[in-house]
Amino acid sequence: METRPMKRAKVFNSALLFLVVSASATAYAQGGGEKKDTPAHGKAAQVDKHTQAPAPGQGKKAARPTPAPAAQQPQRVQAATPARGRSQAKPTPVQAPQQRQRVQASTPNRGRSAARPAPTPVVQQRQPVQASAPRRPAPPMAVPAADQRQRAQAEQQRAAQYRQRLDQQVRLGQQQAAQAQQQKRAAQYRAQQQYLAQLRAQQLRLQTARNYSNDPYIRMAPSYRYAYSGVNRETNQYGADVLRQAVNYGYQEGVRFGQADRQDGLTPNFQNSYAYRDANYGYAGNYVDQSDYNYYFRQGFQRGYTDGYNSRSQYGTTFANGNSSILAGLLTTILGLTSLR
């Protein structure tokens, strides 16, 4: 009875020993294989760590490396991992500095293109009128033939009377000049001699016969009105030009005689001047009465004498050549011409 249990125990121990030896041999064999594969598995573990670490933007999805040999697999996996991360996570593309500059530079252009300037108004050209030539003043009205004959006769009488008076004025002027020479007023004497020379030239012109039939003044109707001594008078363009001449000549001679009195040391008095009393300088005995011409001549002479004696240009202008001219505005005021049309 005792032998059977002992036998059973021996059999059980033998079987147990066999299992232990077999397990040890198997473990030894596996341990040698594991030692050989340890570097590869170590690298693979590193790859797994890199692979398992989620790339930016990849989320919870694990990276699946492509199977490859142990020596080449880590490099490929490491190179592929960021690429897959970029492909899976699609971040906003960062623009290069040059691209930013282009965008910034293009922005104002777009702004300018967006803000369109107001269209330039098109100036419409007016269609030319059929009569493209500038308007001309209406032709002067002609007086009837009977009035023309009366005017011609009045002009002849006016010229004859002026010739007689002019002769008297020339003789009086010669006496005045001799008196100035005796009183040793040299400047006054020179001024009177120049004035007398103009009167003598007018005497020569009056000796020439005039053809009144061809004179435009005879045929032209009055176009201006002016007042003299409280009486309204009418004249045409030719008569108005004579009146303007009277004021201008009066101013010019007034400047000359005023300067002469100042140079001779005389007290200013334009009424004592020979030219002021005569007042016929420039008159030819036509178009206006002599009294009218004398009046406007004296108006200009008075103002010219004041400027000449005081060496100023209040009423007109004196040029370098010695000639003088009254101001245009003052001339218009003195004449007081009113158009009849």
Distance in angstroms (rounded) separating the CA atoms of residues 246 and 318: 17
Domain boundaries defined on the chain: 145-339
**CA nearest neighbour of 44 among 83, 73, 64, 66:** 73
Q: Which residues contact 297 (CB under 8 A, 6 or more apart)?
A: 246, 247, 249, 250, 279, 280, 281, 282, 283
Compute the mean pLDDT over every residue in the chain, rounded to the nearest whole number.
Answer: 75
- SS3 call for 224: strand
Q: Determine the Cα–Cα distance for residues 120 and 99; give it in Å rounded to an integer.
A: 36
The pair of structure tokens assigned to 250 is 């009066």
Number of helices followed by number of strands (H, E) in the chain: 10, 5
CA 238 remoteness from chain centre: 42
Which tens digit of pLDDT belongs to each residue from 208-257? 878 887 899 999 999 999 998 888 999 999 999 999 999 999 999 999 99
Inter-helix orientation angle 237-263/290-310, to 10°: 40
Q: Specify the pTM.
A: 0.59
CB-based contact 340:237 (threshold 8 Å): no
Tell me the percentage of the chain whose pLDDT exceeds 90: 45
User: Which helix (H) or strand (E) covers residue 33, if one does?
Assistant: helix 3-52
d(CA 243, CA 156) in angstroms, rounded, equals: 19
pLDDT in tens, the chain (341 residues): 445 555 566 656 666 666 766 666 555 555 554 444 444 444 434 434 444 444 444 444 444 544 444 444 444 434 444 444 444 445 454 444 444 444 444 444 444 545 565 656 554 555 544 444 555 555 567 778 888 889 999 999 999 999 989 999 999 999 989 999 999 999 999 999 999 999 999 999 988 878 887 899 999 999 999 998 888 999 999 999 999 999 999 999 999 999 999 999 999 999 999 999 999 999 999 999 999 999 999 999 999 999 999 999 999 998 888 889 999 999 999 999 999 97
